[in-house]
Structure 1
Amino acid sequence: MTPSRPSNPLISLTWTDHVTGRQGFLVVDRLVRGVASGGLRMRPGCTLDEVTGLARGMTMKEALHFDADDATARYVPLGGAKGGIDCDPRDPSAYGVLVRYLRAMRPYIEQCWTTGEDLGLTQDTVDRAAAEAGLVSTVQAVHPLLDDEREARQRLADAFAVEVDGIGLDALAGGCGVAESVLTALDRAGVGYEGTRVSLQGLGTMGGATARFLSRAGLRIVAVADIKGTIAHPDGLDVEALLAARDAYGTVDRAALRPGDRELPGDAWLSADADVLVPAAVSYSVTAANQAGITARWIVEAANMPVLPEAEELLSSRGIAVLPDVVVNSGTNAWWWWTLFGDIGPDADEAFAHTRRAMRALVGSMLERAEADGTTPRAAAHAMAADRLPVIAQRYGWYR
């Protein structure tokens, strides 16, 4: 009998920091072979409901990268999980909160939850805090599933040491996947790359890498929003100059702007004269109220859960397609596992080529299914995941 999908997550817990009173959360939605994967975010206002939704999304991201017919793949998709801390990462107390959270979650990280950077945190910060919390690694729960743990850990470490034009490969892998999602949508619609206008919210890890790949493909980045507001230029921004002028949180030093660059309010990226919108920062940024100003043809979700359901319904009724986060930003997570399990080596060209092939196939399948079923890309992605989850559960089991 095929194991059924639970309506509630397997594990859901709330932690309270004994020093500051701040809260943190862990949700394990599903296990595969006893392990679940999902990052750790830190942001003010983070909630258990938010983390629960993100964990369910991770289950789908993992399932969507499962190919039952590929006997050569070493990476077998894991279950889905997510962690969250209700704290501003810029707060002086944030690092201490992070260390204490990781100490509290240590039994889960050691046994079943593999994690890494997400919104508000860098991998360097997570790794440093994890070492202080007494952890071997934030992905040590997956070590028993590896053919050669020592070799795999070295391969991943080597991959994290790779930089391309000043940006780490770990940061670029996810942006490569987002950019390929955009390019696949343009190809299917017969729209050329040159001059296609893009507006992004966020120039951090995901947004910055996405901007680079799209700009180098010939698209024009006409607006970028960060915590200080929106920077815009109708003829296109100097992406490399903006990347060089950003801080660790993706905030751009305005001294680097050119004379023609305009500084606009923070929400101006939504109504920019663009063909593609890429929300690559916070969740819940596109609402039923502000979606009315959007004129873009595509919204490509580089962030997790940026478009609220009621907003997506209204956007769809206006012919605006939303490419969902469970597909678009899944390349980051997949790159980790392709590298750790040995499907790819610690090489940028190999990583980008593998990511492009996988994302183009996945996005293409999603768009084909949406067209065939007469539904939205998100509904198609969810249907694809629903088809694959029982196969994964039957073949690999939950706990073994």
Structure 2
Amino acid sequence: MTTPLLSLTWTDHVTGRRGFLVVDRLVRGVASGGLRMRPGCTLEEVTGLARGMTMKEALHYDPAARYVPLGGAKGGIDCDPRDPEAYGLLVRYLRAMRPYVESLWTTGEDLGLSQDLVDRAAAEAGLVSSIQAVYPLLDDATAARRRLADAFAVEVDGIGLDELAGGCGVAESVLAALDRAGVPYAGTRVAVQGLGTMGGATARFLTRAGLTVVAVADIKGTILNPAGLDVEALLAARDSYGTVDRSVLRPADRELPGEAWLSSDAEVLVPAAVSYAIDTGNQARIRARWIVEAANMPVLPAAEVMLAARGVTVLPDVVVNSGTNAWWWWTLFGDIGADADEAFAHIRRSMRALVEQMLGRAEADGTSPRAAAHAVVADRLPVIAERFGWYR
């Protein structure tokens, strides 16, 4: 891994908690990457995530599009978002990082933080917007901001378009892999870890495509039903952290310990919650054929090697969950409008092309999908740099 352009560790003067900002690369002077809050967040974690953002941006480079990929960055705060001190800590972090948010780092929701919360804290910290650094790159910043605000106001069956975009991309990644393998959707079973923004939307899109979600895990444990869970009922019973109210469970739904989702009888596992969820120990329990990384860095590298030896294919986060970030920029730059059907069609088309390119490259090179994705990035970064210059 290359050395990042900028790496900062900040210590809060009130609580003593730490926050981090890593800028891996700039393109046209700007980098993109969300802000996460979780207990135990480290600089090493944020550094890896920032590098992943550089890759996600490069993977969506289209020289004919209005959206020009940015560099990669990431922010992180070591705190439980449920802590009573969390919001004040978030405001102070953004106040400390204000020069970077104003000039070069565009950020938004990530693990533990909703976009509404980030927006409210950013305003309190004196920022115009969490993405204001990109405004100078827009042809018409006022129209672009209005278009993005309109898109965030769109709801589909009671859930915001912004909360569905990423899950649409994850689901399309699953469907593309199934199609390539000649596996029908009907009868294909899925287990999802995390029913927050990404996991919940993924479960909804996969269910509507004809797959069966048999297990869902949240902070309270795993909910299992081999015949299929009522995904819509579970989504409606979530709190703001993705925890399901167990009172909505049906008689055939079983409550099991937290890691039971790993060993569920499913062809597809979707880790959509925390990083490092699958390690060298618990990977042995997995019976699925595919692991689709909706979360960032959920499978440890050593575990991925062991899974590959057992014939389990990991579709990597840098491709699978890149739809959220791309949707923001497609909308802001004007490649798509504030319309759900247009957004979903664009996400599906782009993600399917990317997954098929990755899997085709992996097959041709005799490598893993992750190695293939890295190879595509290695091809594209110099092209982007030649067009816009190197900022390292």
Deviation for aligned residue 1:106: 0.3
Residue number in structure 1 paired with 2:334: 342
CA distance in 2, matches of 1:209, 1:265: 23
Question: In the TM superposition, what is the alpha-carbon distance from 1:195 to its structure 2 partner?
Answer: 1.7
Q: 1:56 aligns with which of 47, 51, 55?
A: 51
List per-residue Cα deviations over 1:356-394 (Å, max 9, x = no partner).
Answer: 000000000000000000000000000100110011011
- Verify: 1:27 aligned to 2:19, yes or no: no
Q: Which residue of 1 aligns with 2:387?
A: 395
Equivalent in the alignment of 1:65: 60
Return the offset for 1:398: 3.6
Partner of 2:6: 11
- Cα pair 1:60 1:80 within 8 Å, conserved: yes
CA separation in 2, counterparts of 1:398 and 1:36? 13
Whole-angstrom distance in 1 between the partners of 2:249 and 2:16: 40
Partner of 2:311: 319
Aligned partner of residue 342 in structure 2, secondary structure: helix
Residue 35 of structure 2 corresponds to 40
CA distance in 2, matches of 1:332, 1:120: 16
Query: Does residue 223 of structure 1 match 2:215?
Result: yes
Question: Match for 2:24: what amino acid?
Answer: D
1:162 corresponds to: 154
Residue among 176, 183, 187 paired with 1:195: 187
Q: Give SS of 1:368's match.
A: helix
Partner Cα distance (1:259, 1:18) in 2: 50
Q: Is the 8 A contact 1:203 1:250 kept in 2?
A: yes
Give the aligned residue type for 1:143: Y
Letter in 2 for 1:45: G
1:27 and 1:81 in contact (8 A); partners too:
yes
Partner of 1:124: 116
Query: Displacement, 1:399?
Result: 4.7
The letter of the residue matching 1:368 is G
8 Å CA contact retained: 2:274, 2:295: yes
Residues 46-75 of structure 1 deviation map (CA, whole Å, 9 limit, x = unaligned): 00000000000000000000134xx2x100
Rounded Cα–Cα distance in structure 1 between residues aligned with 2:88 and 2:140: 34
CA RMSD of aligned residues (A): 0.9
SS in structure 2 of the partner of residue 270 of structure 1: helix
| Residues 34 and 398, structure 1, Cα contact 8 Å, conserved in 2 | no
SS, match of residue 273 in structure 1: coil
Structure 1 segments of 4+ aligned residues over 2 angstroms from their partners: none
Please state whether the residue corresponding to 2:263 is helix, strand or coil: coil
The within-5 A match list for 1:134-283 is 134-283=126-275
Deviations 1:271-303 (A, max 9, x none): 000000000000000000000010100000000
Is this contact kept in 1: 2:27–2:389, CA < 8 A? yes
Partners in 2 of 1:38 and 1:396 — Cα distance?
Answer: 19
Gaps of 5+ in 1: 1-5
Give, as a single letter, the amino acid of the residue that structure 2 aligns with 1:321.
T
What SS does the corresponding residue of 1:84 show, helix, strand or coil? strand
Using the TM superposition, give the Cα deviation of residue 7 of structure 1 relative to its aligned residue in structure 2, in angstroms. 2.1
Structure 1 stretch 226-235 or stretch 389-398: which is displaced more?
A: 389-398
Shift of 1:166: 0.8
Alignment-mate amino acid for residue 79 of structure 1: G
Mapped partners of 1:362, 1:60: distance in 2? 13
Instruction: Determine the C-alpha separation between the residues in 2 that align with 1:18 and 1:345.
Output: 43
TM-score by length of 1: 0.97
> How many Å separate the matches in 2 of 1:134 and 1:345?
29
Question: Deviations 1:20-65 (Å, cap 9, x if unpaired)?
Answer: 0000000000000000000000000000000000000000000000
Amino acid at match of 1:20: T
Q: Percent identical across equivalent pairs?
A: 83
What one-letter code is carried by the residue in structure 2 that aligns with 1:377? P
Partner SS, residue 49 of structure 1: helix
Q: Is the 8 A contact 1:184 1:360 kept in 2?
A: yes
Distance (whole Å) between structure 2 residues aligned to residue 384 and residue 49 of structure 1: 24
Amino acid paired to 1:103: R
CA drift of 1:177 comes to 0.1
Residue in 2 that maps onto 1:90: 82
CA contact (8 A) 1:327 1:362 kept: yes
CA distance in 2, matches of 1:167, 1:232: 24
| Corresponding position of 1:3 | none
In the alignment, structure 1 residue 352 sits paired with structure 2 residue 344: yes
Q: Partner letter of residue 116 of structure 2?
A: D
Verify the 8 A CA contact 1:207 1:281 in the aligned structure 2. yes
The count of corresponding residues between Structure 1 and Structure 2 is 392
For the Cα contact (< 8 Å) 2:25–2:391, is it kept in 1?
no
User: SS at 1:218's partner residue?
Assistant: coil
TM normalised by structure 2 equals 0.99
Alpha carbons 2:18, 2:77 under 8 Å: kept: yes
**Structure 2: runs of 5+ lacking an equivalent:** none
Structure 2 counterpart of 1:384: 376
**What SS class does the counterpart of residue 67 from structure 1 fall into?**
coil
Q: CA offsets per residue over residues 183-230 of structure 1, 9 Å max, x none?
A: 000000000001200000000000000000000000000000000000
